[in-house]
A and B are shown apart, each in its own frame.
Chain A
């Protein structure tokens, strides 16, 4: 057999293989580029079978698995827009629904196993797709739920929500080749804005290895969770525990069917039936009587989320996803409860008084009034008749210039106490023609201008002997060339400068005449004559004045009323001498707009905006990191406390407690006027405790001084070891108010909050009673009650099923009948 047989086939096969590899690679790369360029924007409009807009539905691109992204979800209108390939397949899933009757998200129970709970949508190049999902409702939650929320503790510190979450995950579901994602979701209950915290992620060992392989050991290369930020749940932190659940016995046959359908199978004989959930370790077993014990892993996670409006109540929901490279195994949400996270000081009712710099203390920062000799310049562009010193009265341009000149002069001399002591007028004529004639023309024209300007000055505003000065001149041809150079006429300029150089003897008169004769022969002379020579027929003037005294307040008020120009000193006088609040706001605002560098106007204007409930944190932001500031001609000063107070109050009003707290801590002395602002900012920031953990009495006392109600609120905000004492004190204060028959509604409401936190059924029953009393006194408080889930639940306590609006005697009798011990 010829040797070439195998050899040839071997080479041919190898060649084909390499071409195949190369082709596949090139094609793959080209396809990737093509794919990226071909992404289209698709809007999904999702509804339930009943036609309700479906909010919060999850969207998953099945074409690009295994990217699991819980952030693609429909908004309040049931819509979402995302970029996908034209031939993609999307999956739309159920999660929560917007209930328009109660204006809240309501979770939909679902057991969430894999693709069964998603609706498949093929894009097929469409840009808008209407989707109707299948809605799965279950009547009873599975007693062996995949994940459960055991406890969540949310605390607001400043603008940061600190969340500590304890969760259970069924032990058999934690595998080496899957990933669990718990996505915390914060929902602002007022604006319904959804915010995501960092996802908690538990990766199986094999999953983690293959994930790292996928992304070349750099998970930020493509694992989107890493890009968004995540909190790793380590396997070491998982604690195995047994959880017992009770269910109603339903009979042997039904029981077996239930067990089979939920993955149980029998391991012992029928008399005492035990079922294993999986073939491996025993993770759950059931007996005929009443209970199922299931093995769960318990873990706790902690994370912080920044929120913009920390005083509004938030709902906290955890979404759960589990996936194994390719498909979703579990999709769930902790929809059994939605926990409310409330700022402990949301019920504070504080009126913060802004501060002003308008006082004698800061008069040294006012600008000085203008008194003494002054010189003010101006200019007019009169058009004179050719070869004459008279104005061309038909030229409308001259009328404008006259008006302008009059306004300029009158603006100068109208300041109170001003006397004109002198007038200097200067101007040039063009160099065209004879020099002597031109100089005479210039003199004549300046005389005309002087006469006109003098006419604007009344006799009582000038000295009897007015110092007059005329400075006529003839423009040189070099000035003409410089003017032309600015218009880039370089060739023409070169010609003129050549002539100038050739005819310069040092005698200005002769030089201008000789140069003019030559220049007039140039071909561009027509253009020079029409466009550039007229520019030199201009008059400038300087008005010398003497100001004997500054205007008094009456004169300033007159000036303001007449709309006259006001300098900074006049504005200060006007503002400082005004007692009417609204006028003060107005003057300060106008002064700030005209003189924004004035720290006095800026600080006071910021304060006025606070009073009008329109705080603007940007106004004083330039002083945030500034310890001292400078006033021209006066000196350098420490930024005043009033400015800091207004800064802090503005930030507090905008609920930016972190910034308010930092400024208060760094700059406010805490004494005098700044005390309340400082303590309030610190309280909102969560600094109710000192470093050693003890309660910060300084803050408590400062807030308590503002009102009894605020004292109750601040004491209720204390937690930890001091909680019980502070709560008792708060209750006593509530009782005092109630005895004095003051603010019954709010006092009852606050007492209800105190009591619901106490241990024992009796306290909870009393909380219910006080809540009812509060609602009877002020039914509007129901909206406030709804923000606190634990409190709101009191109204639906099964032991006290009392409608809210029944007569008081009825429900009090009923309560007594329930033996509340009240």
Chain B
């Protein structure tokens, strides 16, 4: 069963990669990383693909493996986003869009352990400063709602099953992102 699942995963990933590569060959491709997240030890990277004069598709992923004794900031997430650029010049000036997020966190910052899955969506916007022929600096903010489901406990009182769930409104992303046009 495990082998079948693993195989299924590999096949799906391969198909997605081929589709992704096909897209990448045809369109402008930008690589990026959020400097603000690096300040919190979160490893992150993203790809943005231009699909038309005004629209781009953005996909960012992050992972934070940090644990300091009892404290933990571990989490990972993927954020797909659709962006609209009114000026028709992607990676220059204003944009706004719709963002989604899906992730898992295993945190303990204040003595409360949290092991939750999250997914949600919201709106995003930002402004890009053109630094050079390929380099730009993007500032962005996203707000929206996420649905969380998981476990929270203190000390050794592990609940054994999900004991928290619900919708909450919060910032989904804040970024000072360095972008580089690959092609």
A contact set with B: CB distance below 8 Å? 1, 5-6, 9-11, 13-15, 17-22, 24-25, 28-29, 65-66, 177, 206, 209-210, 212-214, 217, 324-326
Q: A65-B88, A209-B133, A326-B87 are in contact. Are A1 and B161 (CB under 8 A)?
A: yes
Q: Are B132 and A209 in contact (CB under 8 A)?
A: yes
B51 within 8 A of A: yes
Establish whether residues A18 and B117, one from each chain, have CB atoms under 8 Å apart when the complex forms: no
Contact A17 B130 (CB under 8 A): no
- CB pair B52–A28 under 8 Å, yes or no, is yes
A14 to B86 Cα, complex, angstroms? 27
Are A11 and B12 touching (Cβ within 8 A)? yes
State A10–B101 Cα separation when bound (angstroms): 10
B28 CB, nearest partner CB in chain A, Å: 8
Contact B27 A15 (CB under 8 A): no
CB contacts (< 8 Å) of A24 on chain B: these are 51-52, 55, 57
CB distance from B92 to the nearest CB of A (A): 5
Given contacts A5-B117, A177-B93, contact A14 B150 (CB under 8 A): no
A1 to B9, CA, bound (A): 21
Among candidates A13, A15, A25, A65, residue contacting B23 with C-beta atoms closer than 8 Å: A25
Asked whether, in the complex, the Cβ of A22 is within 8 Å of the Cβ of B78, the reply is no
Top 3 nearest A-B pairs (CB, nearest first) are A210-B89, A325-B87, A6-B117
Residues of B within 8 A of A209 (CB): 92, 130, 132-133
Indicate whether A21 sits within 8 Å of B19 (C-beta atoms), given known contacts A1-B151, A209-B130: yes
Query: Is B130 within 8 A of A13, CB to CB?
Result: no
The answer on a CB contact under 8 Å between A213 and B91 is yes
Whether a CB of chain A sits under 8 angstroms from the CB of B59 is: yes
Q: Say yes or no: is B80 at the interface (Cβ < 8 Å to chain A).
A: yes
CA gap between A723 and B132 in the complex, in Å: 51
In the bound complex, residues from chain B placing their C-beta under 8 Å from that of A326 are: 86-88
Chain A residues lying within 8 Å of B132, measured Cβ to Cβ, are 209
Knowing A28-B51, A213-B133 touch, does A18 contact B19 (C-beta < 8 A)? yes
A20 touches B57 (CB 8 A): yes
**28 A-B Cβ contacts within 8 A?**
A1-B115, A1-B149, A1-B161, A5-B149, A9-B117, A13-B80, A13-B119, A14-B16, A15-B16, A18-B19, A19-B19, A21-B20, A24-B55, A25-B22, A25-B23, A25-B51, A28-B51, A66-B88, A210-B91, A213-B90, A213-B91, A213-B92, A214-B89, A217-B133, A325-B87, A325-B92, A326-B86, A326-B87
Tell me if B181 counts as interface (CB < 8 A to partner A): yes
Is B142 interfacial (CB 8 A cutoff)? no
Looking at chain A's contact residues, the main secondary structure is helix
Q: Is the CB of B117 within 8 A of A13?
A: no
CB B163 to nearest CB in A, in angstroms, measures 10
Q: Are B102 and A6 in contact (CB under 8 A)?
A: yes
Q: Which of B12, B55, B133, B149 contacts A15 (CB 8 A)?
A: B12
Specify the chain B residue showing the minimal Cβ separation from A12. Answer: B102
Contact residue among A13, A28, A206 (Cβ-Cβ distance under 8 Å from B100): A13
What A residues does B109 contact at CB under 8 A? none
Q: How far is the CA of A6 from the CA of B91 in the complex (A)?
A: 32
Pick from A1, A65, A212: contact of B133, CB under 8 Å: A212
B104 at the interface (CB under 8 A from A): yes
Cβ of B162 under 8 Å from chain A: yes
Q: Which residues of A contact B19 (CB under 8 A)?
A: 18-19, 21-22
> In the bound complex, how far is the Cα of B162 from the Cα of A210, in angstroms?
50
B146 CB–A CB distance under 8 Å: no
Given contacts A1-B161, A6-B104, contact A18 B16 (CB under 8 A): yes
B40 nearest CB across to chain A (Å): 21
CA distance A363 to B151 in the complex (A): 118
Hey, which chain A residues are within 8 Å of B28, CB to CB? 213
A212, B133: Cα distance in complex, Å: 8
Q: Could you say which residues of chain B place their CB within 8 Å of the CB of A210?
A: 89, 91-92, 130
Q: Which of B80, B86, B102, B130 contacts A206 (CB 8 A)?
A: B130
- B137 close to A (CB within 8 Å): no
Q: Is B26 an interface residue (CB 8 A)?
A: yes
**CB closest residue in chain B, given A64:** B53
- List residues of chain A with CB within 8 A of the CB of B103: 6
| B49 within 8 Å of A (CB atoms) | yes
A592 to B67 Cα, complex, angstroms? 103
Of B27, B80, B91, which contacts A25 at CB under 8 A?
Answer: B27
B88 cross-chain contacts in A, Cβ below 8 A: 65-66, 325-326
Evaluate contact between A325 and B89: CB separation under 8 angstroms: yes
Residues of chain A with a CB closer than 8 A to B55's CB: 24
Chain A residue contacts of B93, Cβ below 8 A: 177, 325
Residues A10 and B16 in contact, CB atoms below 8 Å apart: no
Taken together as a complex, chains A and B put the C-alpha atoms of A20 and B161 apart, in Å, by 35
Once A6-B104, A13-B100, A326-B86 are accepted as A-B contacts, the answer to whether A22 and B133 lie under 8 Å apart by CB is: no
Query: Across the interface, which residues of B come within 8 angstroms of A19, CB to CB?
Result: 19
For B104, the chain A residues whose CB sits under 8 A away are 6
User: In the bound complex, do residue A14 and residue B78 qualify as a contact, i.e. CB atoms below 8 Å apart?
Assistant: yes
How many angstroms from the CA of A326 to the CA of B86 in the assembled complex?
Answer: 8
- Evaluate contact between A213 and B26: CB separation under 8 angstroms: no
Is B102 touching A13 in the complex (CB atoms < 8 A)? yes
Nearest residue in A to B22 (C-beta to C-beta)?
A22
The A-contacting residues of B in range 25-43, CB under 8 angstroms, are: 26-28
Residues B59 and A17 in contact, CB atoms below 8 Å apart: yes
Residue in chain B with minimal CB distance to A14: B16
Known A15-B16, A206-B92, A325-B89: A1·B150 in contact at CB below 8 Å: yes
Q: Is B162 within 8 A of A25, CB to CB?
A: no
Distance, CA A206 to CA B52, complexed state (A): 20
Interchain CA distance A11-B15 in the complex, whole Å: 12
Known: A1-B151, A15-B16, A213-B181. A10 touches B23 (CB 8 A): no
In the complex, residue of chain A having the shortest beta-carbon distance to the beta carbon of B104:
A6
